[in-house]
Structure 1
Amino acid sequence: MPPKSRPEPVTVRSMADDVRGRTDSELSDLLHRRQDLARPAPADLSALAARASTRASVQRAVDSLDLAHLQVLEAALAAPETTTSPVEPTDVATLLGARTSEVTPLLDDLWSSALLWRSPEGARVVRTVGEVLVHPAGLGPRAVDLPGAAAAATPAEIATVVEQAPPAARAILDRLTWGPPVAVLPAGTPDRVAEGARWLLEHHLVRSVGVDQIALPREVALALRGGRSHRATVLTAPDLEGQERPLEAIDAAAGQQVTDLLALVDELAAEWGLRPPRVLRSGGLAVRDLKRIGSVLDVDEARAAFVVELAYAAGLLADDGSLDPSWAPTPAYDEWQQQPGDQRWAVVARAWLLTTRAPHLVGTTPAGASGTVNALGPEAHWPPARSLRRDVLDQLSTAPTGLAPTQGSVADALRWRRPRRVPGTLDVVITAVLREAEWLGVTGRGALSSAGRALLEGRDESALAAAMQPHLPDPVEHVLLQADLTAIAPGPLAGGLATFMRLVADVESRGGATVYRFTPDSVRRALDAGWSVDQVVVALSDASHTPVPQPLDYLVRDVARRHGQARVGAMRAYIRCDDETTLGAMLAERELSPLQLRSIAPTVLVSPVAAETVVDFLRENGFAPAAETPDGGIVVPQAGRHRTPLQRRTSPVTASGVDDELVTTLVGALRAGEQAADYQREQVATRPGPSLPSTDPTTTLAVLRDAAADRQAVWLGYSEADGRVQRLLFYPERVEGGRVHGTAEGVSRTLSIHRVTGAAVG
């Protein structure tokens, strides 16, 4: 039999009855709004209602409310006698100073989210909501729930008493009126304040709730507020404000940012492939290494940290796992580097959107920490970063196309959208997200780009690449060599040419065109990598539309003439050179004294220091040696090829949403489970009490708490110490510490909740 789309009418006495009476579409709406209820799948509608009433689930639902729904829910809690009477939309509207027509749709939404339930008399707030919102809208408990005599019955009587209050008492009321409603008066409180508190206690405007605490009753606070629950009611989202920009200009700016970013990642990989920095003992990258890579990339430390963290999040660099570990590019980088620019961007953009790394924390000192946060370190892992990043970008996506909203308007919109989930550092986070989005090309000139919108829509990498491709300049396969020892690349260079230019020259400036500068050190870098002088000259000639300038030709040949004149070997090291003058200069150089050089022949020096160190020292002091193999050949290092071992790529942890297909299947299963439960109840109608289907501890806990609050009896299946399952009609009084206290058959008993096999209201 197919599940029923509309259940039979039931008598609504509780939240469970309300859920059982919902239609399939209403149940689907509930599961979409509160997706935590769908996993794991509840057995039936009673289990669904119990789970929706648990504190953890209600906490999650309340935290996800925007300011409009939160204020309406707080006003519903603040309405007179909410716990015993239904919530009237007119009362809520009066407390908010709004129209009933504005409040009613919001109350309907709260019912759809199962934060309210409906009885024939009207809607009621779910009891657990009061446990989550302890002081709704900054209001304290009702007078009847506080110790002491009742307060004045009407707002007019309260106002009359308040008018007689002395200044000290009035000052205390002013501090408590809009919350928090509890004040602490420790020993040593000034006499004037103590006298004011004593006057308020004597006139029942506040209540003593502890040795040194006083609380303002809800009725008094509402009277002082003029019958309003909130100082300012905001039932509509604030509009984003900013400047309008043409979409073409936005996408063009985003494309240029992506070009610069991909070049920075390539330079990072080239630098760390040649000289990988060490991993700190505590993990992460040393501050001096971050400053060094920032200098190499010619960017500030904030952007250098972003590039490093982005490459790490995308799996393009990692700890190489060696005995003396260092940070180096991964084999995945080599594959990524060969892809077109649009596909490369799609990989890093998705990694940035999903990562829980927070580059903006690098260099800061968190509260309670003993040191600063290092790039690539464990302290830069901040789980809220992903959701906050998404929230900021979602605000940009709601803005009209081409609007570059101001940071202040984004902050206001986010505070309205997630009033209970914004950190104290929200402004810092928004600044960081907007800055990183600009660097990544998700935004251009402050507005969301076309490719950035595709990223937020969750498109696959091929669609992301297609969205970015029209805005990236086409790669070029030539450079313009100039007589001042520079070369200009009029656009992003093709893969092989880009690798060669980074090897033989240093990047001097970036922009629409990249300027490379040739220096003796950069040319020597190419010769150290195994290139001959003729190969370097021919490669430059092939890459240029103009002949190689004479100064550049002279530079290359001059460096090549001196390159390899001195040879370094391991004895631990020896230096041989046909030019005795060169060896004499080495012996006379004071900066080379740590090498402990000693002449053993007119053309040979030896050193107890390792050959690699000797080579580095000589190069740092103006010499141009070449490393030599034991058989006299030149050592050709694999420049830029240090790589981490092949590692298994782990995807970011994400929570998949509840889709329509899953919800439809789940609603059918819930209907079938409820029909099965009805059948069991019919079969055991002659037995005392209802049937006791197996319930999980979460459901059992919710049933017992509701029964204790309503002072109702509960039928329990309870496993005794000898293994027998006993059927009890139990009257719970309180639930705490995994146990329930109450009476059964007139005898006080304490039962362990984990031994309860089933529970049903009697």
Structure 2
Amino acid sequence: MAEEEQVRAFAEHVAGWTPEQRARVEAARPDTTRPAPGRKRGAAGPAGLAERLIDGNALAAVSTALPLGPTQVLVAVLLVGATTRPRLADLLGTDTTTLAPCLEHLLERALVWDDGEVVHPAPRLRRRVQPPQPLGPIVEEVVEQLTGTEADTALRKLNRRVSGPKNRQSSLAALHAALLDEALVRSVVSTAPPRVRKALAARFTPTGTADVTPAAMQHEQEALRWAEQHGLAYRNRRGGYGYGGWETYPVSPYDVFGLYSFGPALPREVVMALRPDGVPLPFDPVRPEIPVHTVSEEAVASAASAALHELTATATALVDELERAPLPQLRSGGVGVREVRRLAKLFTTDEATVRFALDVLGLRGLIADEHGALLGAPGGYSPEGDTVTVSPEGVAWRERDPAERALALATAWLAAPDHLTEPDQNGKPRPPLLLPEGCGGCAASRTALLSALARLGPLEATTLQQIAPAARWELPAAHAVHAYATDTPYSYAWQEAERAGLIARGALAPLGRLLLAGDEAGALQLLGGAMPSSIDEVLFGADLTAVVPGDPAAGVSRLLDSCADREGRGGAVVWRLSPGSVRRALDEGAGADGLLHRLESVAAGGRLPQPLVYLVRDVARTHGVLRVRPAVSVLRCPDEPLLAQVCADRALGKLGLVRIAPTVATTTATPEQVLTALRAAGYLPMPEEAGTVVDLVPGSGAAGTADARGDEPTETTKAKPSKPAQPEAAPAKRKTQPAARPSRAAASQGRPDRLAELAPQLKAHEHQLLLAALEGGESAGSEVEIEYVTVVGTRSRRRLGSLRLIGQEAGKTSLRATSLPDGEERTFRLDRIVAVHPVSGAEAAEG
């Protein structure tokens, strides 16, 4: 029957429902009373109802919410299509009486319909929906998307030929018949390797849950590739999603077979052919019994309340800490291990509790980066910011009562898209606030576990191992074991539910029952009596401790966190004041009187211990006496007027020079920037060996251009000579010797090769003469005569004494020397010295 005919027959069947039948279906399918998201309501009446009942997304959502027994019946219907009740019971190895309750479950949800003789799958069900254990497409879907050539190729692999005229239609019909031939399929599979035969045979026995472990997936893909090479498995050439890339809707709200997408798939009829003779499909119509033991309601309520109080207290402390001091964020997102350990030590709890609390806060939208972007969204996060802080919603959450805070955390966990405590593929804990993409099957395991526990009485409890089979029966589409997990089924859901206060002592806590039923108002009322109220009074001790016996109010936490350090948390939260913590409050702008007044306003009795008052006033008395300001470079000059001139020079305003002493100024600019700016303004600074000190020596004033030419003394030198003037006296005649060439030892010691690099225009003996003069300093015989070319090209002959090398200017090294016979200090660039001559004895005596 074509799909259009199936839809027409189904619509006629819906039109014949009695009001009681229609009410029963609408109660089991509330999605039919409203249009699907993004769709118009469609036609009214039976026709519109029929159209909504067979909507692809709606069918997928309903089919994954089935218990195991009805799911196994649905699998049988998907395999064989329309069939009778006796044949369906025979396929499942049961009788029609046992089959009836599970089949009725499907009829109430309009997944199948019964015309009195034959049970039909709902239209579009076989094409659009996969059961929890994916079965692949039907043969019609495989054949209709192939070309004639592809069909002929598949027939050759199956050792079949087209009878009669050969065209596309005949090739497709021959392939369709071949894939429906169970004997042919079995003969082809018999030639496969043993591991392939085993994996292919496992396809016909859907257990109701998908085996997504890496080993099972690898074996299955290997078997499917072999089947594709031998004409039994096919890919969807038209594109699509779901198992094998075929156009089946993802099984909402979780796609348990998404890991199989875009690979080859076995048609369902081929899967049925692999069934051994006489072996029925698995069928478990009865819910497994749960071994239980007795527990008191008070013990369960007390343990659940303690766990939820611990989670709420940790989350509250995290919000207080993040509001005061944001955490650094990893480059890939989340919070690092070092910060998690520090917070666990600070809050006297374990790392797992800190991780869980951070994730739940992120899910609730209470944590953001410094730009306001919320953190903790599923699917990972590439951070634009560098820190983790509190969002505006987090600040508002902190102001609420403890019961409201606790309820917000519990509901956030219940709606989490995946397990929060599951490790990564390497078995390492995942960074908090870096949630995975989200797995609906893993999230559904939470519902399955809580639903199974809800069937127990208030005085009945069990263990995880004992409840696992019943939880699997409740919702077989859920992921009991994740792909990379080796733990007990449902272990992550169980542990997280205990942390959230929904499970305690092996039983479902009262809060869990209320939230599972959707009664948040009742849950808030329950928590209002179980959670202590916030306390806004502090007990200050003479030992400088501050104790809040319970849950501190938001204002109290902010005040104490600003001036004290947390020491412990349990039944009471303890802070300790110290000089360092008080100094922190003063650094943030608090004054001694204002801080003491605020502490008195929250102190029990309105009075503070005398040691605490003394501590605050003593710290305030010495606070700020020492001042620290940023400085990258230091400018030093023994000439106070020159330094004052430099600091006041408008051309140097961009340096931001600050004079901190008569001869010292600082700036945040680098030494290279300072040197460049000073030289551009006409000064002659030089760097000191420390690397961050610039020496502005006397005699390097703004008239440095003439001085640099070696023509005129600087104004500073004229106004303030570097040495005190001596009374005039007749020059004493002294016996001088002509300058001699330096020895090889002296040349070696003075590194003439360095002079050759700085003044390559000079000859080797001229380098030796300069080296001897530099080593001689102010001693007799250390004078030389040079030929110098000024900046304007004038060539002159100079006699120099007291030579010394100074820093670079414009990348060139300069020479500082006394010009004889006038005795003025001049600066000469080495690259402009064109010749060096020794000074004769007569010239030296004359000087």
Q: Which category describes the TM-score, using the shorter chain as reference length? A: 0.5 to 0.7
CA 1:241–1:520: 2 relative to 1, 3 Å? farther
Match of 1:457 in 2: 517
- Give the counterpart of 2:20 among 12, 20, 25: 25
| CA deviation map 1:50-92 (0-9, x unaligned) | 554465544443322221012223345667xx64xx412x444
- Note if 1:397 corresponds to 2:393: no
* Rounded Cα–Cα distance in structure 2 between residues aligned with 1:271 and 1:91: 66
Measured at CA, do residues 297 and 423 of structure 1 come closer, stay the same or move farther in structure 2, by a change above 3 Å? same
Q: Equivalents in 1 of 2:293, 2:180: separation in Å?
A: 59
Please give the per-residue CA displacement for 1:647-670, whole angstroms capped at 9, x wherever unaligned. xxxxxxxxxxxxxxxxxxxxxxxx
User: What letter is aligned with 1:226?
Assistant: G
Distance 1:51 1:244 in 2: 46
Q: Deviations over 1:439-488 (max 9, x none)?
A: 33334445333233333332345x43221011123444545555655444
Aligned runs of 1:625-640 on 2, under 5 Å?
none
Instruction: Indicate the residue corresponding to 1:259 in structure 2.
Output: 309
User: Are residues 70 and 453 of structure 1, via their aligned partners in 2, closer, same or farther at CA, if it must alter by over 3 Å?
Assistant: closer
Shift of 1:22: 1.2
1:544-693 pair list within 5 angstroms: 544=604, 555-556=615-616, 558-568=618-628, 600-601=660-661, 608=668
Task: State the shift of 1:410 in Å.
Answer: 4.4
Identical amino acids, percent of aligned pairs: 28
Task: With the length of structure 1 as denominator, give the TM-score of the two structures.
Answer: 0.57
Provide the residue aligned with 1:14 in structure 2: 9
Aligned to 2:391: 330
The equivalences for 1:484-563 within 5 A come to 485-533=544-592, 539=599, 543-544=603-604, 555-556=615-616, 558-563=618-623
Matched AA of 2:63: V
Name which of 170, 173, 178 aligns with 1:147. Answer: 178
Judge conservation of contact 2:448–2:472 (CA < 8 Å) in 1: no
Contact 1:316–1:332 (CA under 8 A) maintained in structure 2: yes
Corresponding residue number in structure 2 for 1:71: 72
Q: SS at 1:236's partner residue?
A: coil
Q: Deviations for 1:634-692, whole angstroms, at most 9, x for unmatched residues?
A: xxxxxxxxxxxxxxxxxxxxxxxxxxxxxxxxxxxxxxxxxxxxxxxxxxxxxxxxxxx
Letter in 1 for 2:368: A
Aligned equivalents of 1:140 and 1:227: distance in 2? 23
| Amino acid in structure 2 at the alignment position of 1:179 | R
CA-to-partner distance for each residue in 1:218-271, whole Å, 9 max, x for gaps?
78755x3534222xx321223445654322232223333343333323322332
- Rounded to whole Å, the distance in 2 between the matches of 1:267 and 1:212 is 52
1:112 aligns with 2:113: no
SS in 1 for 2:551: coil
Task: Tell me, yes or no, if the aligned pair for 1:74 and 1:137 is still in contact at 8 Å.
Answer: no
Distance 2:591 2:514 in 1: 47
Q: Distance between the aligned counterparts of 2:180 and 2:518, measured in 1? A: 60
In structure 2, what is the Cα distance between the partners aligned to 1:121 and 1:149?
Answer: 24
User: Which amino acid counterpart does residue 501 of structure 1 have in structure 2?
Assistant: L
Please say if residues 481 and 546 of structure 1, whose CA atoms lie closer than 8 Å, have aligned partners that are also in contact: no
Q: 1:394 to 1:601 in 2, by over 3 A?
A: farther
User: How has the CA–CA distance of structure 1 residues 385 and 321 changed in structure 2, closer, same or farther, with 3 Å as cutoff?
Assistant: farther
Which residue, 472, 480, 484 being the options, matches 1:415?
Answer: 472
Please identify the structure whose Cα radius of gyration is greater. Answer: 2
Say whether the 8 Å CA contact 2:444–2:479 is kept in structure 1. Answer: no
Report what 1:179 is aligned to: 203
Matches within 5 A, 1:373-388: 374-377=431-434, 379=436, 387-388=444-445
Question: Are the counterparts in 1 of residues 113 and 120 from structure 2 also a CA contact under 8 Å?
Answer: yes
Aligned length: 535
Determine the structure 2 residue equivalent to 1:96.
Answer: 92
For 1:353, the aligned partner's letter is L
* Structure 2 match to 1:226: 278
User: Aligned residue for 2:683?
Assistant: none
Question: Which piece of structure 1 moves more, 170-179 or 489-498?
Answer: 170-179
Secondary structure, aligned partner of 2:558: helix
Decide which moves more: 65-74 or 307-316.
307-316
Q: 1:177 and 1:272, CA in 2 relative to 1: closer, same or farther beyond 3 A?
A: closer
2:316 maps to 1:316: no
Unaligned runs of 5+ residues in structure 1 are: 1-10, 154-160, 190-210, 575-596, 611-762
Q: 3-state SS of the aligned residue for 2:327? A: coil
Cα gap change, 1:447 to 1:556, in 2 (>3 Å): farther
SS at 2:412's partner residue? helix
Task: Report 1:473-492 matches (<5 A).
Answer: 473-482=532-541, 485-492=544-551
Q: Which residue of 2 aligns with 1:751?
A: none
Describe the SS at the equivalent of 2:203: coil
Residues 422-454 of structure 1 show CA distances to partners (whole Å, capped at 9, x for unaligned) of 375187794444333333333444533323333
Decide whether the 8 Å contact of 1:69 with 1:106 is kept in 2.
yes
Instruction: After TM superposition, give the deviation of residue 543 of structure 1 in Å.
Output: 2.5
CA contact (8 A) 1:478 1:544 kept: yes
Contact 1:477/1:494 (<8 A) preserved: yes
Report deviation, 1:95.
3.8
Code of the residue aligned with 2:19 in structure 1: it is D
Q: State how far apart, in whole Å, the 1-side matches of 2:517 and 2:617 are.
A: 55
| Counterparts in 2 of 1:384 and 1:247: CA distance versus 1, 3 Å | same
Task: Call closer, same or farther: CA 1:275–1:606 in 2, change over 3 Å.
Answer: farther
Structure 2: which amino acid aligns with 1:509?
A: G
Q: Is the 8 A contact 1:138 1:178 kept in 2?
A: no
Write the letter of the residue equivalent to 1:19: V
Question: Is 1:345 aligned to 2:406, yes or no?
Answer: yes
| 1:14-62, Cα deviation, whole Å (9 max, x unpaired) | 3232222112232233334344444423414345435544655444433
Corresponding residue for residue 494 of structure 2: 434
Q: Is the 1:487–1:517 contact (alpha carbons within 8 Å) kept by the matching residues of 2?
A: yes
CA distance in 1, matches of 2:304, 2:633: 52
Residue 474 of structure 2 aligns with an amino acid whose one-letter code is R
Please name the residue that 2:761 is paired with. none
TM-superposition CA deviations, 1:117-136 (whole Å, max 9, x none): 22243433446444468899
1:488/1:603 CA distance change after superposition, 3 Å: farther
Question: Does the CA contact (< 8 Å) of 1:294 and 1:301 recur in 2?
Answer: yes
8 Å CA contact 2:401, 2:533 repeated in 1: no
Whole-angstrom CA distance in 1 between matches of 2:367 and 2:194: 63
Unaligned runs of 5+ in 2: 1-5, 36-40, 140-173, 206-219, 230-263, 373-383, 635-656, 671-847
Compared with structure 1, are the counterparts of its residues 138 and 490 closer, same or farther at alpha carbon in structure 2 (3 Å cutoff)? same
Name the residue aligned to 1:246: 296
Is the contact between residue 66 and residue 419 of structure 1 (CA under 8 Å) also seen in structure 2? yes
Give me the whole-angstrom Cα distance separating, in 2, the residues matched to 1:540 and 1:177. Answer: 78
RMSD across aligned positions (CA) = 5.2
SS in 2 for 1:124: strand
1:607 is displaced (CA, Å) by: 7.0
Change (3 A) 1:408 1:144: farther
